[in-house]
Amino acid sequence: MRNLTLLSILVILSIFFSATIWEFIKLDGGNIQILGEYNDSKHHALNDPLRYLIFVFVPVLTFILYNFLIKKSSLSLSSLKLEIYNNEKEINILFSINLIIIFLLFLEFLSINFPLDLIDIFHEGQKLSAPYKSLLDGKLWTGSYVTTGIINENLGIKLFWNIIDNENIGSMRYVQLLYIFFLKLSLAVLIYQISKYVLFLPKFRIFFYLVLIFISLYLIDYDLGYGDNISYRDLPVVLSLNFFIKSFSNKNNKFPIIFIGFLAVTSYFWSIDRALIVNFLTFFICFILFINQKFKEIIIILGSIIIFWFFFFMILGDEFFSFLENTYSILKNQNYIQGIIHPKPFSDMENSSRATRSLLLIILSLIVSINFLFYKKKKYHNNLIIIIFTLSFLAFCSYLYALSRSDGGHIKQTTGFLILIFSIIIFFNLSSYLNNLKILNFSKNFLFSILFLPLTILIIYNLQISFKNIVNYVDRFNEYIALEDNVFLSDKQNYFVEKAKPLVGNYDCVQLFTYDAALPYLLKKPNCTKYYFLYSLGSAYEQKDLIKNMNNTDLVIYIGQTDNWGLSPQKKLTIVDNYIKSEFLKSKKISDWEIKFR
- pLDDT tens readout for residues 220-245: 999 887 778 899 999 999 999 999 99
* pLDDT recorded at residue 86: 61
* pLDDT recorded at residue 546: 94
Percent of the chain surpassing pLDDT 90: 67
* pLDDT recorded at residue 118: 95
Nearest to 410 by CA among 418, 401, 423: 401
Please report which confidence band the pLDDT of residue 438 belongs to, taking 50, 70 and 90 as the band edges: low
Percent of the chain surpassing pLDDT 70: 95
* pLDDT recorded at residue 443: 64
* 456-515 pLDDT tens trace: 888 998 898 999 999 999 999 999 999 999 999 999 999 999 999 999 989 999 999 999
Please report which confidence band the pLDDT of residue 526 belongs to, taking 50, 70 and 90 as the band edges: very high
* pLDDT recorded at residue 228: 85
Cα diameter, the chain? 88
Residue 238, CA distances (Å) to 414, 449, 534 in order: 13, 32, 31
* 265-307 pLDDT tens trace: 999 999 999 999 999 999 999 999 999 999 999 999 999 999 9
**DSSP H or E stretch at residue 556:** strand 555-559
* pLDDT recorded at residue 268: 97
- Helices (H), ranges, 66-143: 88-111, 123-137
Query: What are the residue ranges spanned by the domains of the chain?
Result: 2-70, 231-338, 489-597
Residue 317, CA distances (Å) to 130, 295, 360 in order: 20, 33, 46
Strands 511-512 and 555-559: parallel
User: CA 475, CA 452: separation in Å to the nearest integer?
Assistant: 36
Mean pLDDT score of the chain, rounded to an integer?
90
Q: Which residues does residue 594 pair with via DSSP β-bridges, in sequence order?
A: 559, 589
Q: Which residues does residue 559 pair with via DSSP β-bridges, in sequence order?
A: 594
Torsion angles phi and psi, residue 530, rounded to 5: -75, -10
DSSP 43: B
Q: Is the pLDDT of residue 442 over 60?
A: no
Please report which confidence band the pLDDT of residue 201 belongs to, taking 50, 70 and 90 as the band edges: low
Q: Which residues contact 80 (CB under 8 A, 6 or more apart)?
A: 288, 291, 292, 373, 382, 385, 386, 389
**Which of 31-35, 41-45, 134-138 has the highest average model confidence (pLDDT)?**
134-138
Q: Is the pLDDT of residue 199 over 70?
A: no
Q: Average the pLDDT over 399-417 and give the result.
A: 86
Mean pLDDT check: name the lowest of 261-270, 367-376, 429-438, 460-469: 429-438
Q: Which residues contact 206 (CB under 8 A, 6 or more apart)?
A: 93, 94, 97, 452
Q: Is the pLDDT of residue 367 over 60?
A: yes
Residue pair 197/386 in contact by the 8 Å Cβ criterion: no
* pLDDT recorded at residue 337: 79
Which has more pLDDT, 241 or 336?
241
Q: Average the pLDDT over 323-347 and give the result.
A: 89
Torsion angles phi and psi, residue 132, rounded to 5: -65, -45
Residue 95, CA distances (Å) to 98, 253, 255, 428 in order: 5, 19, 20, 19
User: CA 11, CA 61: separation in Å to the nearest integer?
Assistant: 9
